């Protein structure tokens, strides 16, 4: 799927980088601080909207668990719920009506 859609591949890579890069800026010092802040600003301008990130996450899950995709629910969570950061959740739909496991992705702003 991703190999047929270069834009989706780029979005998935960007999502992965955004999840790995957020570091507290207070831990940076000297010239590296300016470089990291500049990199975060550049990445922030290229960040896809939450709905696109949600679709990309659904695509990854579809590739990992193609027969189980219907067992998950994807939704964008209001920013206030995540402490001012953008986030979305992937919840396991529990057929028995109980609350199933939930994964919350918080997209930290620089």
Specify the pLDDT at position 105.
Answer: 56
Q: Which residue has the tokens 């990291």?
A: 36
Q: Which residues contact 86 (CB under 8 A, 6 or more apart)?
A: 50, 76, 79, 106, 107, 109
Q: What is the pLDDT of residues 43-99, one digit of tens each?
A: 878 877 777 877 887 888 888 878 877 777 777 776 677 776 666 676 776 656 656
pTM: 0.43
* Lookup: tokens for 48: 């896809």
| pLDDT at 2 > cutoff 50 | no
Arithmetic mean of pLDDT, 6-35:
67
User: Regarding predicted confidence, which is higher, 14 or 101?
Assistant: 14
Nearest to 75 by CA among 97, 99, 93: 93
- Give the separation between CA 45 and CA 65, rounded to whole angstroms: 31
Instruction: Give the DSSP H/E element, type plus range, for residue 81.
Output: none
Mean pLDDT, residues 9-33: 66
pLDDT reported for residue 110: 42
Q: Is the pLDDT of residue 3 over 70?
A: no
Q: ∠ CA(106), CA(5), CA(49), 5° rounding? A: 30
């Amino acid at each position: 799927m991703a190999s047929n859609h270069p834009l989706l591949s780029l979005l998935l890579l960007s999502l992965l980088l955004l999840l790995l890069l957020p570091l507290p800026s207070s831990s940076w010092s000297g010239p590296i601080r300016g470089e990291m802040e500049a990199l975060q600003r550049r990445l922030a301008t290229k960040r896809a909207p939450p709905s696109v990130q949600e679709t990309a996450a659904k695509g990854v899950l579809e590739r990992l668990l193609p027969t189980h995709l219907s067992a998950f629910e994807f939704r964008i969570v209001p920013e206030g719920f995540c402490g001012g950061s953008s986030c979305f959740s992937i919840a396991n739909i529990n057929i028995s009506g109980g609350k199933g496991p939930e994964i919350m992705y918080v997209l930290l702003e620089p």
